[in-house]
Amino acid sequence: MIGITFSVGRWATAPLLLIIAMTACSHGTRKTAPPSPQSDARAEGENAAIAKARADSARYPYTAADIHFMSAMIGHHAQAIAIAEWAPTHDANPSIRLLAERIINGQQDEIAIMQRWLRVRRQPVPDARTIGMKMMLNGVEHAMS
């Protein structure tokens, strides 16, 4: 076996040398070009757009697309529950059954959150059952049962 020995003094000074090297690198001067009139105008435009978006967000805290998304996701999550419920009746092994139980729990919690979100905004709250539900996909209505 080959033994390698290092002096303690060398290892004790290594962190100090590293700190000095990093400090030396961080004090370099950086030359930046002065802002051009175009970059100033663009920054002003971006700031105005950000201000408008913030004002709109305060005035309109959700959109019709948000309502549609939440409503559709309730049915989507309900489908995941329906599929996960097949595990015990389709001879799934114990690890798949455990995964299915976790999916069911998680999806039920998320459905409750989405239903509450819609209720707070006084929007129609879809039932979480998929039987007889329909969804639009590429402009075509499909049954989800």
| 31-47 average pLDDT score | 75
Residue 28 lies inside a defined structural domain of this protein: no
Residue 13 lies inside a defined structural domain of this protein: no
Residue 7 lies inside a defined structural domain of this protein: no
Tokens of 3: 């033994």
What count of other Cβ atoms lies within 10 Å of the Cβ of residue 36?
9
Residue 46 lies inside a defined structural domain of this protein: no
What's the pLDDT band for 126 if we cut at 50, 70, 90? very high
Are 100 and 84 in contact by the 8 Å Cβ rule? The answer is: yes
Residue 70 lies inside a defined structural domain of this protein: yes
Residue 68: pLDDT over 80 = yes
More confident residue, 8 or 136: 136
Residue 98 lies inside a defined structural domain of this protein: yes
Q: Return the percent helix, strand and coil in the chain, to nearest 5.
A: 65, 5, 30
What does pLDDT average to over the chain?
Answer: 80
Tokens of 71: 């409503």
**21-32 pLDDT, tens per residue?**
666 655 555 666
Residue 56 lies inside a defined structural domain of this protein: no
The CATH number of the domain where 97 resides is what?
A: 1.20.1260.10
Give the whole-angstrom CA distance, residue 24 versus residue 74. Answer: 57
> Could you tell me the residue range of the domain that residue 82 belongs to?
63-143
**1-18 pLDDT, tens per residue?**
555 554 555 555 666 556
Residue 17 lies inside a defined structural domain of this protein: no
Count of domains in the chain? 1
